[in-house]
Structures are given as C-alpha cells and as structure tokens.
Amino acid sequence: MLRPPTSRLRLRSTLLLIVLLATAGCAVKWTPFYDETLDRDITSFQQSTEGFLTNLENLQAPACTYQQNVKFYQQQSVQLTVMRTRAVASPHPKQLLEMMDSLSKNLTDLQTLQQNAGSACLNATVIEIARKGFEPVFESLLAYELALKANQPPATAPSK
C-alpha cells in the first residue's frame, strides 16, 4: 500500500534526523595529531646539534675535522630518517616534511662545510652562521608541535 507523499516526506525527514543525531557525536579530526615522540625527537635533535656546534667552537685540529666528527653526522642522519618516517605516517604531513627537509639541508650544508675545511677547523663565524640556519627551523618545528599539542584534550580531567 502506498503512503501519501507527506508520510514519505516525514519518514525521510525522521530517518535523516536519526542519522544526523547518530553521527553528531562522532568527532572528525581535520588537523594533524600531536605526536609526543616526534616532539621529543625534535628536541633531542636540536640539543645534539647545538651541543655539537658549541663543542666544535672549542676544539682544535685535528679534533675539529670532519674525519673526527663523522659519527655525529651519521647519528643525526639516522635520527632525521626516523623523524621523517614518523612525519610521513602522520595525517597531513606536508608542512612537517618541509621543515624536516630544511633540517636535512642545513645538516648537509654543515657537513659539506666541514668536509671542505679539510684539516682546518671551522671558524666561529661559520659555526654561528650554521647555528643561525638551524634556529628558525627548530623554532618552526617547536611552534608547530606546540600548536598541535594545544589542540589536544587534557590527558586527565581537571579536578574540581
């Protein structure tokens, strides 16, 4: 038996309302999630890079040469690869990957400078320029992670 058009319209409206109410509680996340591990890794990368540059300022040849510091570049390269893998796995990684690429380029530039110095040490001016190249990238990454972190609900409910 066919229902009158108004009954069908009411039925459709009711079904639509039920679907809307049922899905209204579903959260849709359009922004990336905060990644505590990535945040910690970025901070560790920054600390080791800054420590290396500070140490490099105080070294004399041959301890300041590339050959004596290859291990630093290898470790930083591995850490960057791990961070990049986490970034790729995150939702909406484009902005994060661009910052990782900048870090990688700065590290490669520093490595090239040190390799080209041969048996000489990098002077304080070159080291400071390298440091100034890293700083805005670290600041951007930190600002990005802090913005994501602020977008998260508190880990525990506030006490009354």
Walking along the chain (160 residues) 10 residues at a time, the average pLDDT comes out as: 63 66 54 85 97 96 96 98 92 87 96 96 96 96 89 52
CB 38 within 8 A of CB 83: yes
CB atoms within 10 A of CB 127: 20
Q: Helix axis angle, 36-57 relative to 124-150, nearest 10°?
A: 170
CA distances from 40 to 34, 69, 158 (A): 11, 24, 25
* pLDDT value for 60: 95
Sequence spans of domains, the chain: 36-150
Give buried/exposed letters for 50-69 (b at 16+ CB in 10 A, else e): eebbeebeeeeeeebbbeeb
* pLDDT value for 158: 46
How many angstroms separate the CA atoms of 44 and 57, rounded?
Answer: 20
